[in-house]
A = this chain, B = another copy of it.
């Protein structure tokens, strides 16, 4: 395969995970019997052999300095033989075979500023993306919004008092690297102006056919502007997805005044009870308001509160809304239902109410 000189190591792949597993896991691999969740952030897995594994989950900002990773390493050495892992939602988990060390470990982590929690019917870390820290596409920052949100939702990280898990995700543009399309609450940064075309650079930087092909709505047409081969955008047909910019650097989307944030609800990924669902539009637009995005924080807190107050045990956000119906959801949250909430892309018609099943009596 690789055409490299023999001496240069390539294509070795990642190290084998076995090297990193604590003895209790090696011995009971695939032989776990059940687990308990004695407090937020602590899981106890019990093997058929009777062996126990304590996992202590602590928050991380995901964006971390090597200093912090070294701190985690030191803590792991001190409390659990150096064994730890990260989760699919960017928390860190320390893996203990000695239950007695759990409380001291928690105390230590809290002291260092990495609080413990996020298990069970709670709010755990927010899956998110790069934002202004590293991406060219961003309609907002990621880390800043997430930090502001988690500060506000923090009590739900430490307690397990919600009807069910509430998964919050953030993405800084429609590419949705945070895969926000299936979250209980999805916070999605949006552009709202058509691309600005740089006719000077475009001919040199962009392949025109693939740029034209990139537009989901066919809003891009080849054009000639003072002699140069470039493109033009039929603005009424543009819904600001930014895919043109992804393929063509000369079509920039970012706009300080009009970029902002939309909020979506009721998605889920697990197969538990209801099949996985996409998130649906709740709030089309809120302003970009750094450093702490108060409007966004308020909106998300409000959604969590209304859900917590009305949903039944085990009901995820989307399952609750399906039970009470969307009209009631908009009433309870006080959010306006607008033209923007009605789908108008490819399969829009599939979302129309094609029956007389209407909660006529829930007007009030």
Contacts and interface: CB of A to CB of B under 8 A. Distances in A.
A357 interface: yes
Interface in A56-93: none
A80 B108 CA distance: 93
Contact of A355 (B275, B346, B355, B357): B275
B350 A276 contact: no
A6 interface: no
Given A271-B355, A271-B356, A347-B350, 4 more contacts: A275-B355, A276-B355, A347-B347, A350-B350
B350 A275 contact: no
Interface string A119-161: 0000000000000000000000000000000000000000000
**Copies per complex of this chain:** 2
A354 B350 CA distance: 16
Interface in A317-364: 346-347, 350, 354-357
Contacts of A276: 354-355
Nearest to A276: B355
A354 B354 CA distance: 22
A228 to B, nearest CB: 33
Q: How large is the interface on A (under 10, 10 to 19, 20 to 34, 35 or more residues)?
A: 10 to 19
A276 B356 CA distance: 9
A347 B356 CA distance: 23
Contacts of A271: 355-357
Contacts of A350: 347, 350
Contacts of A356: 271
Interface string A261-295: 00000000001000110000000000000000000
A275 B357 contact: yes
B354 A275 contact: yes
A350 B351 CA distance: 11
A165 to B, nearest CB: 17
12 contacts: A271-B355, A271-B356, A271-B357, A275-B354, A275-B355, A275-B357, A276-B354, A276-B355, A346-B347, A347-B347, A347-B350, A350-B350
Contacts of A355: 271, 275-276
Interface core residue of A346, A355, A356 (most chain B CB under 10 Å):
A355
A266 to B, nearest CB: 16
A350 B350 CA distance: 9
7 tightest CB-CB pairs across the interface, nearest first?
A275-B355, A271-B356, A276-B355, A275-B357, A347-B347, A271-B355, A350-B350
A276 B354 CA distance: 8
Contacts of A354: 275-276
Contacts of A347: 346-347, 350
A356 B356 CA distance: 31
A309 B347 CA distance: 37
Nearest to A358: B271
Interface string A285-323: 000000000000000000000000000000000000000
A276 B350 CA distance: 14
Nearest to A355: B275
A199 B299 CA distance: 65
A294 B95 CA distance: 70
